[in-house]
Amino acid sequence: MVLLTPDLEKTYSNSEATTFEPAHTPARIGVAVERTMSIRSIRDNLSPAAARIPVEFTKAISIIVDTREDARGVSTRPGSEISEKKSKEAMKDIAALDWHTISTSTLFQHLSVSPSAGLDAPQAARRLSTYGSNNISPPPRNMLKKVLEWLFGGFGTLLLGASLLCFIAWKPLGSPPLASNLALAVVLLIVLLLQTIFNAWQDFSISRIMSSIQNLLPSNVTVIRNSAQVNIVSEQLVPGDVVVVAMGMKIPADLRMIECTGDCMFDRSILTGESEPVPATVDKTDDNFLETKNIALQGTHCTSGSGKGVVVQTGDLTVFGRIATLSSQTSGHLTTLQREIFRLVLFIASIAALVAILIVILWAAWLRRAFPNFINVPNLLTDVVSVVVGFLPTGLPIALTISMAKVAGTLSKHKVLCKSLSIVETLGAVNVLCSDKTGTLTQNCMHVENVAVYDLELDLTELRDRLMSGGKAAEAPSDQSDLSTKLSESETARENLAQLGAVAGICNAAAFAAEQNEKPLEVREIIGDATDSAILRFAESIAPVEASLTAWQEVHKVNFNSKTKYMLKLSKLSSAYVAADPRPAPIASWDDFSPNDYLLTVKGAPEVLFPRCSYVLAPGGGEPFRLSPDILERIVSLQDSWAAQGRRVLVLARKVIREEEISKHAKMGSQTFAELVNDLTEDLVIVGLVGLVDPLREDIVDTVRVCRGAGIRFFVVTGDHPATAVAISAQAGIVSDVSKIHHFSDLDPKLPVESIPPYVPVAEDDDDPRPMKGIVVTGSDMTKFTGSQLDQLCTYDEIVFARTTPEQKLFIVRAFQTRDCIVAMTGDGVNDSASLRVADCGIAMGSGSDVAREAADMVLLDSFGSIVVALEYGRLVYDNLKKTCLYLLPAGSFSELMPILVNIFLGVPQMLSNLQMILICVATDIAPALSLCMEQPESGLLRRRPRNVKTDHLVDWRLLLHAYGFLGVLESLCAMSMSFWYLQRQGVPFSELVFQFGNWPTLTTEDLYRAQSVYFFTLVIMQWGNLLSTRCRKFSIFQHTPAKNWYLVPAMICALVVAIFFSYIPFFQNAFLTRGIPAEHYFIPVAFGAALLFLDETRKYFVRRNPRGVAWLAW
């Protein structure tokens, strides 16, 4: 540590001073890190997110490959090696840290900071200038590795191997060496070079796109500066800053905890792999900096509770920073799109390999013996190379990259941030969407609509009127026993009603931002979650909250979380306040309260707190009523009534705890003290109920309608009351008919599993949509599920899961995944993080917690409605890639294979040269294929059912039938006919070529080269018709006009220009053996292309008229 004074703040450099040396405190250099955990073991336990960088760096995007830990057990942890020297240095540096061993007073002295006032602005500015921003330096790029990836990525290895074979066919096997073989080898190398350049360009360009949008997700932190809480960007943190830690927060720097609630816990799994959260303490629990619980390490998460910590290390000097600089990323599991691409390439490569093997076998077993002068070894090698290279859709990787780049730009404009671009396609395949309610369906802008004391229901205006009409407080009596007689009846009623505001203000984790007192209450900024903010605003409207907080000194606090579903605060009367008012609100005249007693205030879910309550406040004044079953039934009835209107209902309760009930041996802040307070949380007095309203997002109804029209089941998974959840779901359109909704009791536990029909999705385009079935189940119901009941549940169209825990949310996701569903989960809270990780596509809201945004694959920065854009583009990417494959296969593989097969089996000349095959694959087909990536969505794209990832593949038998049996056959026959017709006109009839196997005396090489060029140009021009027909799957060209894609015509012209370029320039004519063609051979293929388009339009017409009857015609 370094002693910092206002006048002098010593510098610690990134290279030499890796620790602060405290004045008068020896550094604990000898602490044995390896005693429990070495730096290497921590590095090995880093999750991929950790390896990528903490806080603001975790918003950095990985392109296409998802590097998070796969929720289904596929480990993607980095396995990079750390040099022994660097590892030892890191161990020594961390072992020398001793911030955890010194007292808090010494900590404040060394960092020149006040825990209540924080740093002042000049201090913070100086330290920021001295220490730099709180960033972790990105690891250096391994350029050699990058270049190798660019060179051999995609089909690079295959191209290099094919080029080497061609060189071998030229020399030494060539006798004499043929220039065409050399030209083919050189062309393949040029293609490899161009692919490398393109890979480098797309890597750079997409990285630039990602860099431009990653700042859309700022990482803010609340600190105390100038005696006020302020929000700053985490990059501006400096040593000495006092950070306010809240549940769901990602720790932005290494903090020494100076204050924490009893339930404050940190998830360190990102660093240590520990599955259970670690409780926080103020005092050290271990000499090891990595093991002690009074240090909150950067990159970890606060999973419950709250507290304050002082920044002791920032940037590269944090433990996270030291480890991250020694780590590197590795690839993760394959997404659905990557699996489809891999499956396609494997399928095509297998066919190409089988054909190549077949050619070699036929040559070796038949042709070499029967016709020894027909095909020699060099020609055999070039034929094999042509088959293999020609068969592969070389343009597909480029098309995929262009599609992803387009998606990145479009989604960033709609404020959709993807950590992995290919996850968008996964979203396009989603058929189950599980959504949290608060902050996702609703605006997360709550306000208190109603309150109730016992069965007295009031709106806020009525409550304020009753409090005002109570008159002035009665004069304090001299005798405490006489108190009740000295107060008017209205005053006793007033003091009971006033307890609502007092308890709401005291038992609250939110706070008004600094310098907000002069603003109207409705617009004052509040730091805290939506629920606490709404209740705080309500409390302030009743009475100044500051007065209550000044009167009561916090002793112990348990923040609200999704498991306990309540917040608790234990307070003691401030010593300065005892003389001023020994009975501040919510203490009432009937309370037997002494200044040394404690006040326990609680706020939470009614069904959780009601069992702990024994009394209820009397709205008319006086002592509380005993909570009898009849009274409780009336309160629960009111709660259910509010919940059915979509309100969130919370109960406020309190209790006076006598001084003698708090054991002197229980140290405040200890686990024993927390357990004691928990045991005392009984016999509470119900102060009242508050009903909160959280309006639906403006676009949620349309969003739900579109999702359901797309065949996606839209479920609500929430911790709220079932009636509230169903009411909100009905308002959003998720539940069609509340009166017909089923419950857990409607699921037959004895129904045989085999008799349960599989779920059939319903989309807007379906001819006979069936009635929707809806059900609501609670978390307690889920604990009773049998296998049969779970199977029955999964067949419902509309499901509302209420009062769920984080573990149950996880169970829901996995239950549908095991039934072959692609599940998307949306959420914004800590309780959503586990299910966000497990879901096929985790979607967090930009306003949500750091934990949720870290766990998600996608973040919606603005409107929830932007998920519709992501859904559409997910399906569009898949559709356009399917069209690209269909365009590339007929000419790029089938029509290139036919000349070789006809040459081998029928003995005629090869009507398409090997070089021309390569030109089609890597030149003429590329621009039109890329133009298909720019296609706009077809009408009705979001009215179809989502694809079944198990059966609906990028290339299936229908697409192959269309590509080979329809397009490929037509193009091959037309091109072959044109070539032989040209030779017929040159005096070389077909009868003199067939079955001659190289004995073609009337055929000159010039005629052969020109006939091959005729075949080549016929394919290039007929591909125009293929392009115009393939761009629409079902719709006519008149319904989805070419005007929607202005890239089409330039791409068609580009393909022809490329063909002319290589066929008319003398250099290429000599090197590639290409030739120009007669004029008529330009126009006749145009007619062929038009005919092909007409035939496909006829096919689409019948598909639209009778989609089920001719389903085999639809690809």
Rg (CA), the chain: 37
For residue 857, CA distances in Å to 335, 688, 745, 833, 840 come to: 12, 41, 36, 11, 9
- Please state the φ and ψ torsions of residue 200, each to the nearest 5 degrees: -65, -40
Instruction: Please say whether the beta carbons of 992 and 1000 come within 8 A.
Output: yes
Pick from 417, 81, 51: nearest CA to 217: 417
Strand-pairing partners, residue 801, are 717, 777
Pairing of strands 526-527, 511-512: antiparallel
Instruction: Please say whether the beta carbons of 266 and 302 come within 8 A.
Output: yes
Say which residue the tokens 């007669």 belong to: 1078
**Would you state the structure tokens that stand for residue 245, as one six-digit string?**
């830690």
Residues 6+ apart with CB under 8 A from 1003: 909, 983, 988, 992, 993
Pick from 286, 248, 292: nearest CA to 267: 248
Instruction: Please say whether the beta carbons of 459 and 449 come within 8 A.
Output: yes
- State the Cα–Cα distance between residues 318 and 290, nearest whole angstrom: 11
Q: Which amino acid is at 860?
A: L
- State the Cα–Cα distance between residues 70 and 59, nearest whole angstrom: 18
CB atoms within 10 A of CB 142: 11
- State the Cα–Cα distance between residues 504 and 4, nearest whole angstrom: 41
Task: Name the DSSP class of 832.
Answer: G
Dihedral (CA of 843, 849, 855, 858) sign? positive
Instruction: Please say whether the beta carbons of 411 and 870 come within 8 A.
Output: yes
Query: Phi/psi class of residue 622: alpha, beta or left (left: φ > 0; alpha: ψ in -120 to 50)?
Result: left
Instruction: Please say whether the beta carbons of 240 and 255 come within 8 A.
Output: no
Which H, E and C letters describe 423-465, residue by residue?
Answer: HHHHHHCCCEEEECHHHHHECCCCEEEEEEECCEEEEHHHHHH
What is the DSSP secondary-structure string of 472-534? SPPPPPSSGGGHHHHS-HHHHHHHHHHHHHHHHHHS-S-EEPTT-TTS-GGG--EES-HHHHH
- State the Cα–Cα distance between residues 337 and 430, nearest whole angstrom: 13
Task: Name the DSSP class of 955.
Answer: S
Instruction: Please say whether the beta carbons of 524 and 618 come within 8 A.
Output: no
Instruction: Please say whether the beta carbons of 996 and 906 come within 8 A.
Output: no
CB atoms within 10 A of CB 1030: 27
Buried b (16+ CB within 10 A) or exposed e, 851-872: bbbbbbbbbbbebbbbbbbbbb
Please give the positions annotated as active site: 436
Helices (H), 325-417: 336-362, 368-370, 377-391, 395-413
- State the Cα–Cα distance between residues 425 and 401, nearest whole angstrom: 13
Task: Name the DSSP class of 317.
Answer: G
For residue 424, CA distances in Å to 64, 332, 538 come to: 10, 16, 42
* 3-class state of residue 8 by DSSP: coil
Pairing of strands 265-267, 416-418: unpaired
Query: Phi/psi class of residue 693: alpha, beta or left (left: φ > 0; alpha: ψ in -120 to 50)?
Result: beta
Task: Name the DSSP class of 118.
Answer: B
Q: Which amino acid is at 1089?
A: G
